[in-house]
Structure 1
Amino acid sequence: MSSEAPHPDDDVDAARITTARIEDEMEQSYIDYAMSVIAGRALPDVRDGLKPVHRRILYAMHEAGVTPRSSHRKSSSIVGETMGDFHPHGDSAIYDTLARMAQDFSMRYPLVDGQGNFGSVDGDPPAAMRYTESRMAPIAQELLQDIEKDTVDFSSNYDDRLQEPDVLPAAFPNLLVNGSSGIAVGMSTNIPPHNLGEVVDATIELIDDPDCAIEDLMEHVKGPDFPTGANIVGRNAIHKAYKTGRGRLRVRAEFEVEEDERIVVTELPFQANKARMIERIADDVNEGKIEGIRDLRDESDRDGIRVVVELKRGANAEVVKNQLLESHLETTFGVINLALVDGKPRVLDLKETLEHYVDHRRDVVRRRSQYDLDEAEDRAHILEGRLKALDNVDDVVETIRDSESRDDAKTALMETFDFTEPQVEHIVAMQLGSLTSMEAEAIEDEYEEVQATIERLNEILDEEAELLGVIKDELREVKDEYADERRTRIVEDYGSVTHEDLIPEEECVVVHTEDDYIKRMSMSTFRAQNRGGKGIIGTELKEGDRVSSVFVANSHDYLLAFTNHGQVYQLKTYEIPEMSRTARGKSAVNVLELDDGEEIEAVVDSDGMDEEEFFTMVTRDGYVKRTALSEFSNILSTGIRAIRLEEGDALADVEVTDGEMDVVIATAQGMSIRFDEDEVRPMGRTARGVRGINLESDDRVAGVAAVDETDHQWLLTVTQNGYGKRTDIGDYRVQSRNGKGLIDIKTNERNGPSVAVEAVSSGDHLVVMSESGQIMRTRVDDVSTVGRNTMGVIVMDLDAGDHVASVDVIPAAVVTADADADDEPETVEADGGAADDPAAGDSEADAGEADDEAEDATDEGAA
């Protein structure tokens, strides 16, 4: 059995194979790719502020002679030459870059002078490159100035046919002036544009005082200067960006509110898409996210931007403005001052950025001066030979005539007159006309000029101060030629637009149902009616649901919502969804994290409260507790414990007291007790409290009121069937707590049990809501003033089977501020029964006085 011998080439192939771990190979390959993107594509060089593609486009135009003094060239031609000679990537990428350099809304100082459609602020793309024409903008030539004088290093292009510059000489700090943006691998840059004049002044300041602080430079550079103008809100973010190289700037559109009828936008934030912005505003208006806008027009033309937002009649212009600012007219510009320094990415502060530019210009001016010096010295050497030849013109001519050839003449001249080879090259090429005395004088003048130039160039190269002086002079020339006024204004920061700024400040009515639906409505929706009316629909209920509570608060107030489980939650009124009268509302779990069966029993407006005040809480079983407001300073989203409840007990009501008030507890069966709040010592949040009223076995607490004898107040009681009365607070004498109390109102079949008790003053309004969702607002003064132990008068006319669910009071001060409160009351037909007649109520009160006196004696004994 024979085997085939291995071929010699197999050994050679095997020797070229190396073993590598795939993890290591992938890591190294990815690093190579990342560095290629970082250094060769996505990040600008700190010296000229350009990425390779920008630099190659400008250099290709320079080489092709497409300068500001030439005619425009087809953009496709420029793209083709750039791609063929320097940038081996797709033509669309090159053209997109070329187009952006021509857009006056993208570049603060465009580097390309475009002719044709190069796009718009509406996001329209440029026309195809075959339709547009371009040439270098005048300021772009300043970036390429003296590039032919060995001012920068060159490298071979991608196919080693040509040489391309590694960086441009850059006669101004283009990185700051035009900014840059790009995404590399694992890093990105976003440098805003600046005003040329300000940046030049700061650069000169740095040259004059290398030890200056960033704050000194900011005396010149006020902040970014965007091509689209607009406003930068606040200076702190600018200062942070200049100090650290990173920051977040709030850029706000320029607009004006005209006569509260329209908002006119004239300048947009940098990089904002106008058409998209208008479309999004329209979508928000249609979806109800922004209210008060009736029309939206784009009246922009070549003279500038003009977007008109027409407001509805009566719309709150300030609220609409804030809504537009929150979502559309204000953007954030994230500053990341990342650039390549010696081929490595670095985040730079303002001073470091300018220092690297000054170092670059120092090198450029030094190399250019050395180049010019070499040229001048070569010229001086030639002129010296010509002057020497003129001094010996006869002998020189004779030597040349005696020579058999040009080479013999050169050799003879060098041997006879000690000329150098470059000198004899020019001498033998001189024409006879240059031997005239006038030509000789011109050569002498030129020689003196060249000597002066050499002296000046040596001075620049030998003395640092002179070299820096040249840099400053050239910067001033660029400033004088191209600088203009700032476009972007810097305005004071009065705080970000918050969600609260978008909500009109108004009094609201909030409704909560047993099935945990909640909503708010503007109080102006409900006009005051005469007592005894049916009211209007206040909410739509699903089958089996009933209203459990209603309360009034300002839309911007902080509310503390106490539940029947003894928990307390904090929220802003505007966090409750605003809906129409006929809407059902939204589930309360979207607003408060309530447990199953947990209902809001009392809502307290915490705005304007004093930390020395107290929450006085009463339970259904008659327990009362006072806790200092300071105990509720840190309320969690899940609520905190306000009172400890025994099994079967529930929180009934809460009042705010100041330590010097009396507390009145009313029960469902019409009893009431008044005592000094000092009888209840302050307790912690987890305490149960002490007995406030001694209840009958089938009775429960209906509500609590806090009264102040310094004010003329009444105790207003409302029953389940819609009846109520006002009684002077003086009719309720002060007792000790834990008594049975006095009769407050008759809870017979007509009235039904008591459901609410409130301390009221003249001018207050009453909001009564039924279980079926009817709501009525009436004047407290329309409710008859009668004694205790009376039946009262009808307050709200309820349908059969309906009952009063909840009552709240609108203070007189709020009523006065409410414009609708001044309107005439709606004419609503009253019940017409004897109970509606105040006199009838009074007679009933008189009839009950004897019983009242007898019961008072019993009350005192019970107490």
Structure 2
Amino acid sequence: MAEDLENQENDKVIRIDIDEQMRSAYIDYSMSVIVSRALPDVRDGLKPVHRRVLYGMLDLGVTSSKPHKKSARIVGEVLGKYHPHGDASVYFTMVRMAQDWSLRYPMVDGQGNFGHIDGDSPAAMRYTEARFSKIAEEMLADINKDTVDFQLNFDDTLQEPTVLPAKIPNLLVNGSSGIAVGMATNMAPHNLAEVIDATINYIDNREITIEELMKFVKAPDFPTGGIIYGYTGVKEAFETGRGRVLMRAKAEIEMLKDREVIIVTEIPYQVNKAMMIERTAELVGEKKIEGISNIKDESNKDGIRIVYEIKRDANASIVLNNLFKQTALQTSFSVNNIALVKGRPQMLNLKDLIMHFVDHRHEVIVRRTKFELSEAEKRAHILEGYLIALDHLDEVIKLIRASETPEEARVGLMEKFGLSDIQARAILDMTLRRLTGLERDKIKDEYAELMKTIEYLKSILADEGLRMQIIKDELTEIRQKFGDERRTQIVHSAEDMSMEDFIEDEEVVITISHEGYIKRTPATEYRTQGRGGKGSKGSDSRNEDFIEHLLIASNHNYMLFFTETGRCFWLRVYEIPEGSRLSKGRAIQNIINIPKEEKIKAFIKVINLKDQDYLENNYIIMCTKKGTIKKTSLEAYSRPRVNGINAININEGDQLLEASLTTGSSEIVMALRSGRAIRFNEEKVRPMGRTATGVRGVTLGHDKDEVVGMIAVDDPGATVLVVSEKGYGKRTDIEDYRVTNRGGKGVKTINITEKTGALVAIKNVTDADDLMIINKSGIVIRIVVSELRVMGRATQGVRLINLKGNDEIASVARIEHEDEEIEDAESHVVVDGEPAGEGDVEEDVEEEGDEAADEETNEEEN
């Protein structure tokens, strides 16, 4: 008996290998997490919980046109029908889909407290309400047309979709993140319009390369904006599915009252603003970041605004670089494009993601068309029965009246007229009003229209090209309805020199304001106007600022910037931040790494720094305040460094004043504060190396004399304009200036008296230019050059403006002429001064003799 019991117990014990059991159980668990929880489907870009929330909301009918419904009601619907997990997981999923700083294109339209970018939690679900956003409806469009497969829910009582039809490429435009077992996904959001353009081009050309797709999808586009700094990580992510994207806050250095401040208006994606500010304050307290006196969070419903007040003795640029280095103002987004493809996790590049979306949409179109064709044929079948009955109306009525039961009538109709069971039932269900003449015509018209629809649906199923055209048309419609501008700006770092291969070499307009704000704008934004047009406003600069320089360039050109200490900095045109025609641009100091105390005195557009012939046949001429001039081959500036290179050796007490690009044969005119100017041919200055000091260009009249400007002239018909500090000025033909050797004292260019004051500016102008005259009091006045007549070289000139009190002219800028009136609201120029009136007359003086005026000295090179 005991042996029998022992044998029975042994029969219940199953001997297994513990290693094999653990391995098998862990794999089952991990695959369950991967497929059913953590990773998105490549087709609709959703994880199961997101899909169930959207489908549950559809069940409740909370579309974008219906009133909001309590979040608790929606959560209960999803929990009870499709997602038997914690209510918090469902609610916070819905909350995230409503946050415009979490999703680039939110799927839920929330009402109430749905949290904050500072990390504040949303209100409880009993307080908040929600409904679909308009774009979410496009995710579920046609779901009732057998476009996707359904599966049983957790208790096998209901059906739920395994994937959504997804008219939009949601995985690319909204991204996704999730941690599975043994793997994770982290996919960046992108701009909808860019992704759709790339998708359409992929449909047109299946052999398109990732490189070509990147011309459309330029980089991730984060909902919080900010800046992507450097392109290497973006390129790797697009090509391989894995990469590291460096994100920076959008920060500007501005003057506020008497000190510099750093203003942050956009922060990197997924950064908690409050925690970032708190951590920065800790670093300041620990002396790890120095130079910040106060941090203020001035953010409101209109947007983010964080103000870092800089100490008086600190350099704002250095402080900003330290903030980028040590705080979340600069962070990275590690792209890891893993998604489920046919139930299996795969690493996907940009082309893979687009390909799988197009394949999904193609399947949806096919299934939708088959469904619509089936429905149309069913309806046509019934209509055919109606038409048969109408053609034999009297016989049908007689047969029905003679029948004892409906079943007898149905069988009789089928036997006598060859009708199907469905047709016979439909005829028996007809109302008497359908027998009127008008209703009979409607049935015939409906049948004719239905046959056209059937023919069209069959043509769709027979022609893949037509199906692809439908996908393109639907995507184009989505782009028109929901497409918007990029929020995240792309700034290319110095390591991105190969980036020109990925950037179209289109023509752009570069504008630099008087206060040093720079931007580039596609030339297409400046519309072509006929003669007499009012022109296009070129900037929305602040009241005291204006556009001083406007250049036409292409993205592959180069810009050289020269500081007063003689250093040269180098930028590709495409590295200049892009801005709209009306935007202010960014401060140059924020783009190139120059010390706070240095100012940019000159900039030069260069077409190519790689063409050896171009480099050898062009030169850069520089002059300093103390009269030194230097000529260097452009080739010397073809190898840039991030921190700049020495362009000229500046002696103590001197500073760089001007720099110009020449071809080696220009006429150089240098003007002195004492009212004299010297003209000599550029060939008088031999080329030197970058580190040379230069040679004597002009001899100063006295110890307090200095050079106020230099022009390089190639046009023999050019005119020279000079302006004195008390408002006098004039235009003179360049031929009035006799060509001499460099190093002389020059000739009189304006008759300097106590009434005119010293010379402050010399410009090469034409009738197509305007002048901006800036007074020391801050007043800015615009003058049309064509209204100034050309007069003699040694005259006193005419009064250009009436100055008040002891005011003097600080500087003069040449700008392009506009035909519109200069008004405060339109031009943003403060016109507080007065232009010269009609009573101001030209005052001439006798020219000095050549012996005194044209005195020359030939100095040896320094």
Smaller-chain TM-score range?
Answer: 0.5 to 0.7
Structure 1 alignment gaps of length 5 or more: 497-863
Match of 1:274 in 2: 273
Displacement over 4 Å in runs of 4+: 10-14
2 CA distance for matches of 1:13 and 1:232? 68
What code does the residue aligned with 2:347 have?
V
Which residue is equivalent to 1:159?
155
Deviation at 1:466, TM superposition (A): 0.7
Alignment of 1:581-730 (within 5 A): none
Give the whole-Å Cα distance in 2 for the aligned partners of 1:157 and 1:408.
43
- Deviation digits for residues 790-820 of structure 1 (CA, Å, limit 9, x no counterpart): xxxxxxxxxxxxxxxxxxxxxxxxxxxxxxx
1:393-432 counterparts in 2 under 5 A? 393-432=393-432
Structure 2 residue 45 is the aligned partner of structure 1 residue 46: no
Find the counterpart in structure 2 of residue 621 from structure 1: none
Q: Which residue of 2 aligns with 1:481?
A: 481
Partner Cα separation in structure 2 for residue 160 and residue 356 of structure 1: 30
Structure 1 pair 287–388 and aligned structure 2 pair: CA distance change class (3 A): same
Letter in 2 for 1:56: R
Q: Secondary structure at the match of 2:208?
A: coil
Paired position in structure 2 for 1:332 = 332
**Aligned 1:784-799 pairs, distance under 5 A:** none
The equivalent residue for 1:188 is 184
Give how far 1:11 is off: 6.3
The answer to whether residue 249 in structure 2 is matched with residue 253 in structure 1 is: yes
Matching residue of 2:439: 439
The partner residue of 1:214 within 210, 213, 217 is: 210
2:84 and 2:495 map into 1 onto residues whose CA distance is: 49
Of 161, 164, 170, the residue aligned with 1:168 is 164
Please tell me the residue identity of whatever aligns with 1:481: K
C-alpha distance in 1, partners of 2:419/2:442? 21
Secondary structure of 1:6's partner? Answer: helix
Q: Which residue of 1 aligns with 2:361?
A: 361
The match for 1:284 is: 283
| Distance across 2 between alignment mates of 1:451 and 1:368 | 18
Amino acid at match of 2:49: V
In the TM superposition, 1:192-203 aligns within 5 A as 192-203=188-199
Question: Aligned partners of 1:85 and 1:103: how far apart in 2?
Answer: 25
Write out per-residue CA displacement over residues 192-244 of structure 1, whole angstroms, 9 at most, x where no aligned residue: 00111111111111111001001111111111110000010122221111000
Alignment of 1:542-581 (within 5 A): none
How far residue 387 of structure 1 moved from its aligned partner, in angstroms, is 1.0
Q: Offset of 1:475 from its aligned partner?
A: 1.0
The alpha carbon displacement at 1:495 in A equals 6.0
State how far apart, in whole Å, the 1-side matches of 2:46 and 2:280 are. 36
How far apart, CA to CA, are the structure 2 residues paired with 1:150 and 1:15?
50
Q: What is the CA–CA distance in structure 2 between the aligned matches of 1:472 and 1:495, rounded to whole Å?
A: 37
1:149 match: secondary structure: coil
Matched, 1:384 2:412: no
Between the aligned partners of 2:141 and 2:7, the Cα distance in structure 1 is 58
Out of 20, 25, 29, the position equivalent to 2:25 is 29
Q: In structure 1, what is the Cα distance between the partners aligned to 2:35 and 2:51?
A: 13
Q: Deviations over 1:636-684 (max 9, x none)?
A: xxxxxxxxxxxxxxxxxxxxxxxxxxxxxxxxxxxxxxxxxxxxxxxxx
- Structure 1 residue 68: deviation in Å? 1.4
SS of alignment partner, residue 144 of structure 2: helix
- Residues 323 and 4 (structure 1 numbering): CA distance in 2 closer, same or farther, change over 3 Å? closer
How far is 1:4 from its partner?
5.1
C-alpha displacement of 1:452 = 1.1
Q: Which residue of 1 aligns with 2:314?
A: 315
Indicate yes or no: 2:114 matched with 1:122: no
Q: Name the counterpart of 1:64.
A: 60
For 2:130, what is the secondary structure of its paired residue?
strand
Classify 1:15/1:386 alpha carbon distance in 2 versus 1 (closer, same or farther; 3 Å). farther
- RMSD between aligned residues: 1.4
Alignment of 1:148 with 2:150, yes or no, is: no
Q: Deviations over 1:94-139 (max 9, x none)?
A: 1111110010000000011111111111011111111111112111
CA distance 1:13–1:45, change in 2 (3 Å): farther
Q: How many residues are treated as equivalent by the alignment? A: 492
Q: Please give the secondary structure, in 2, of the residue aligned with 1:368.
A: helix
1:296 aligns with 2:295: yes
Instruction: Confirm or deny that 1:342 pairs with 2:338.
Output: no
**CA distance in structure 2 between the aligned counterparts of 1:442 and 1:195, rounded to whole angstroms:** 47
* Deviation for aligned residue 1:406: 1.0
Letter in 1 for 2:456: R
- Aligned residue for 1:449, secondary structure, equals helix
For 2:386 and 2:379, locate their aligned partners in 1 and report how far apart those are by CA, in whole Å: 11
1:14 positional shift = 4.6
2:450 partner letter: V
Aligned to 1:705: none
Structure 1 distance, partners of 2:13, 2:203, is 57
Q: Does 1:76 align with 2:65?
A: no
Q: Aligned to 1:148, what secondary structure does the other structure show?
A: coil
Offset at 1:419? 1.1
Distance 1:257 1:474 in 2: 44
Displacement of 1:43 in angstroms is 0.4
| 1:372 corresponds to | 372
Match of 1:622 in 2: none
What is the one-letter code of the residue matched to 2:4? P
Q: Equivalents in 2 of 1:92, 1:56: separation in Å? A: 14
1:242 alignment partner in structure 2: 238
Aligned partners of 1:433 and 1:15: how far apart in 2?
Answer: 77
Amino acid at match of 2:302: D
Cα separation, 1, equivalents of 2:248 and 2:215: 23
Rounded Cα–Cα distance in structure 2 between residues aligned with 1:223 and 1:319: 28
What is the alpha-carbon distance in structure 2 between the residues aligned to residue 216 and residue 287 of structure 1? 49
CA distance 1:165–1:11, shift in 2 (3 Å): farther
Q: Structure 1 residues 5 and 327, CA, compared in 2 at 3 Å: closer, same or farther?
A: closer
Q: Alpha-carbon deviation of 1:478?
A: 1.2
Secondary structure, aligned partner of 2:228: strand
- SS of the residue corresponding to residue 232 of structure 1 reads strand
Q: Distance in 2 between matches of 1:196 and 1:233?
A: 21
The alpha-carbon deviation at position 16 of structure 1 amounts to: 4.6
For 2:48, give the aligned amino acid.
P
Which amino acid letter does the alignment assign opposite residue 441 of structure 1?
Answer: D
How far did 1:5 drift?
Answer: 7.1
Alpha carbons of structure 1 residues 402 and 144: separation in structure 2 relative to 1, 3 Å: same
Q: How has the CA–CA distance of structure 1 residues 206 and 313 changed in structure 2, closer, same or farther, with 3 Å as cutoff? A: same
Distance 1:405 1:16 in 2: 65
- Provide the secondary structure at the position in 1 that maps to 2:4: coil
> In structure 2, how many angstroms separate the alpha carbons of the residues matched to 1:18 and 1:212?
58
Cα distance in 2, alignment partners of residues 13 and 474 from structure 1: 67
Give the fraction of aligned pairs with identical amino acids, expressed as a percent. 55
What letter is aligned with 2:286?
A: E
Distance 1:404 1:161 in 2: 42
Residue equivalent to 1:461: 461
Residues 522-541 of structure 1 correspond to what in structure 2 (within 5 A)?
none
Separation in 2, partners of 1:202, 1:155: 33
Q: Residue type of the partner of 1:478?
A: I
Cα shift at 1:13: 6.3
Name 2:89's counterpart in structure 1: 93
Distance 1:358 1:321 in 2: 44
Q: Residues 484-503 of structure 1 correspond to what in structure 2 (within 5 A)? A: 484-494=484-494
Inter-partner Cα distance in structure 2 for 1:476 and 1:354:
15
Q: Deviations over 1:606-631 (max 9, x none)?
A: xxxxxxxxxxxxxxxxxxxxxxxxxx
Instruction: Give, as a single letter, the amino acid of the residue that structure 2 aligns with 1:351.
Output: K
